[in-house]
Structure 1
Amino acid sequence: MSRDNKDNSLKTLWELLLISTRLGFTSFGGPVAHLGYFHTEYIRRRKWMDEKSYADLVALCQFLPGPASSQVGIGIGVMRAGAIGGIVSFIGFTLPSVIALIAFALILQGFDVGNAGWIHGLKIVAVAVVAHAIIGMAQKLTPDLKRKTLALFALVVALLWQTAYSQIGIILIAAILGYFLYKHQQESGEEATVNFPISRKFAVICLTLFFGLLVLLPILREITSVDWIAMFDSFYRSGSLVFGGGHVVLPLLEREFVPTGWLSEEAFLAGYGAAQAVPGPLFTFAAYLGAVMNGWQGGLLATAAIFLPAFLLIYGTLPFWDTLRRNAKVKGALMGVNAAVVGILIAAFYQPIWTSSILAPVDFAFAAILFSMLVYWKLPPWIIVVTGAIGGTLIALL
């Protein structure tokens, strides 16, 4: 690599780290809100990807087990700066909440922040951000009646069938319907060129490692009876078998650690309240649990273990996904899937984002103000976040 190329690569990684870290400090509201923040920063503002490629990446990550929003962030990092870019993007987005939750575990376990006014204000910020993202994605991905109908189908099913496997079921059905509805139709517009600087050989290694660890870790746990291996196995398995986002992993983690005596029910619930108060992915709740059980080293181990499956899966599927999405036989299926993703996002926008945030007319009024600041006045997202925190504090005093 020449000196200029190396300098450009380092500059790109540094830019990616700064942007993802800023998002890590300001992305409140859960996985759907995170997708909205990513859309605003990476797609609308910086145009690192086009709308269709972003929607395809979201669809892939919704299909895979693990933390979907974190996987989308990793995928964007990979496309921008290769395999290292995925790691840098993950570190920036995740580290702020990991540090905060380890601090909660070590210092502030008894401090109740879950019902603070500024937290409520940040939930209202999530309403404005997600609404903006959904409107933009719907305009691009559901332009005709068939895709609007598919989105409606996904919306209704996602609201009425709320299980760990509802999202993957909806996406599979939408893919089949999209294949039959659009198999003879080509989308208008040029096909986006997306860079996936990961070889298929490396992808196969990642997928092999993913399944290998899933089988070998429980065996090692039984053979060695070492606490660190048992912890790693529990967190890795939880991160590998979860469909539907961070909230779904909570009962899995509770069953892994509370009945076995690793930590008390009270400590678990206190950490859950803390996890709601910090930005970034809810999977970083693992950092809190690990820190309660084994100090800050345990927090870092738990974080690595629960997110490792996400890395292995996204690195292992991206090269093959790029080939599939360009295959004429698969394009129709992806058109259906993209429409379904819009419906899934609308359903998640209502439950839990809207239902947990808009509790009174004043909340709706404040959400409308924040939405206007973001969409019409085009103010930076960090200003929206600060305004939301201040406004939530003032609303709590009313």
Structure 2
Amino acid sequence: MTDRPVDAALESDDAAAAPRGSALEVLGQFTVLGLTSFGGPVAHLGYFRERLVVRRRWISEQGYADLVALAQFLPGPASSQVGFALGLHRAGLLGGLAAFAAFTLPSAVLLVLAALGAPLLDGPLAEGLIAGLKVVAVAVVAHAVLGMARTLTPDLRRAAIAVGAGALVLLVGSGWATLAAIAAGAVLGLLLCRAGAAPVAGAVRIPISRRAGAASLGLLALLLVALPVLAALAPSVPLAVADGFFRAGALVFGGGHVVLPLLESAVVAPGWVSEQQFLAGYGAAQAVPGPLFTVAAFLGASIAPGAEGVLLAVVALVAIFLPGLLLIAGVLPFWGALQGRPAVQALVRGANAAVVGVLAAALYDPVMTSALVDAPTIALAVLCTVLLVVVRVPAWAVVIVGAGGGMLLSAF
């Protein structure tokens, strides 16, 4: 961190922040996260915060909240975009790629194996495992909401913005409600939270130039136009898969579950995958750690047998994630330059307060409503929350406790 004046943040197009760590360090941390981050995108953000913000201090609480708010504004998988940005922040482009690969590959490999016939979910113990992992998500998200609320809603105005954002999401209940809530929070922040500019040291600095960011956005636009043209001019299954999954990844707001209708039309309508296979892939994706977008690997591998299916899984996986990564890499260099301005800081304060409300709403629905189905699961959730929040047991250990508890409840 540095105490440079605000105007120094507006550097030349070739300027970039120096990486603070190594790609190998990022790879190690995100490998653990990729193996233990169960519970969906909101829970993933809690895992990231606990491991990289609270314990290892890679980035400030304010900077992390800025990344979360920005990812919620953009189409694509929010948790993967935040993870990629954290890797960029820590170790440059190689760090971003290491974070993405380590967080994504464990679930992708498991889902490819499931599609090729390896049994993944079978019997009451497997169902208990899934139930226990959902309970863990309750503890992780609750911990994240409490921690972020202390930092990001320290006064009545921002607390009111958080409450309003949460209420909007719960009442409307669509993916667009999240975007609308954060946008409204930003506007209210501009109107109500202009006093007391935050230090520039809290800004997120990404070691990518604005020129490279513009190139990322240009490549995104080019692929959106070129892939359907190429798929029409040179018909082939790999090109058609790349086109369908790329468009799905580029157009979806609101998290992994929202992408499912787009994927269903892309793979079921042409007859590549049956409705039963599609639903099996969705179910399998609930049982593995990491982002739900890795269901693309299952669907790609289901299109064809053997090595061809593995190739299509790789094509689908890259295609669905690439738009979100290009978008976050393209926007961040410009975003970092603007963060020092008082008006932008006021917008960010309001947006960050709204993020707290959005996460609190997600804690209730779908996290708590799907996990806390009876008194034993409520008791297990309380135990996991106490371990995480009070005893400060590492998140991966709470995952083991929750998963084991879920299987025990299922067995008895």
Whether these two folds match at TM > 0.5 is yes
Match of 1:82 in 2: 92
Is 2:402 the counterpart of 1:391? no
Misfit runs of 4+, over 6 Å? 8-11
Match of 2:243 in 1: 233
Is 2:315 the counterpart of 1:301? yes
* Match 1:348 to one of 362, 368, 378: 362
Contact kept in structure 2, 1:109 and 1:270, CA below 8 Å: no
Match of 1:148 in 2: 159
**SS in structure 2 at match of 1:41:** helix
Alignment gaps of 5+ in structure 1: 1-7
Contact kept in structure 1, 2:120 and 2:284, CA below 8 Å: no
Match of 2:205 in 1: 195
CA drift of 1:108 comes to: 3.0
* Match 2:325 to one of 308, 311, 316: 311
Distance 2:91 2:198 in 1: 29
* Match 1:130 to one of 117, 138, 141: 141
Match of 1:4 in 2: none
Q: How does 1:1-398 map to 2 (within 5 A)?
A: 12-108=22-118, 111-112=121-122, 116-183=127-194, 185-187=195-197, 191-192=201-202, 194-294=204-304, 295-398=309-412
Q: Which amino acid aligns with 2:169?
A: A
Distance 1:113 1:298 in 2: 30
CA drift of 1:164 comes to: 2.9
Contact kept in structure 2, 1:76 and 1:86, CA below 8 Å: yes
CA drift of 1:365 comes to: 1.2
CA displacement, residues 208-248 of structure 1 (integer Å, 9 cap, x when unaligned): 11111112211111111121111000000000000000000
Q: Which amino acid aligns with 1:51?
A: E
Distance 2:197 2:254 in 1: 29
Alignment gaps of 5+ in structure 2: 1-17
CA drift of 1:153 comes to: 0.8
Contact kept in structure 2, 1:113 and 1:277, CA below 8 Å: no
Contact kept in structure 1, 2:19 and 2:207, CA below 8 Å: no
Q: Which amino acid aligns with 2:383?
A: I
CA displacement, residues 8-39 of structure 1 (integer Å, 9 cap, x when unaligned): 98972112111101110100000000000000
Contact kept in structure 1, 2:121 and 2:127, CA below 8 Å: no
Stretch moving more, 378-387 or 243-252: 378-387
Contact kept in structure 1, 2:112 and 2:313, CA below 8 Å: yes
Distance 2:172 2:57 in 1: 35
Distance 2:242 2:407 in 1: 39
Q: Which amino acid aligns with 2:53?
A: I
Q: CA RMSD in A?
A: 1.8
Go from structure 1 to structure 2 and tell me whether the alpha carbon gap of 1:9 and 1:168 turns closer, same or farther (over 3 Å shift).
closer
Contact kept in structure 2, 1:109 and 1:271, CA below 8 Å: no
Give the aligned length. Answer: 390
Contact kept in structure 2, 1:117 and 1:394, CA below 8 Å: yes
CA drift of 1:318 comes to: 0.7
Q: Which amino acid aligns with 1:255?
A: S
CA drift of 1:191 comes to: 3.6
CA drift of 1:112 comes to: 3.9
Stretch moving more, 46-55 or 220-229: 220-229
Distance 1:254 1:141 in 2: 38
CA drift of 1:193 comes to: 5.2
Distance 2:390 2:182 in 1: 33
Contact kept in structure 2, 1:127 and 1:353, CA below 8 Å: yes
Distance 2:188 2:292 in 1: 32
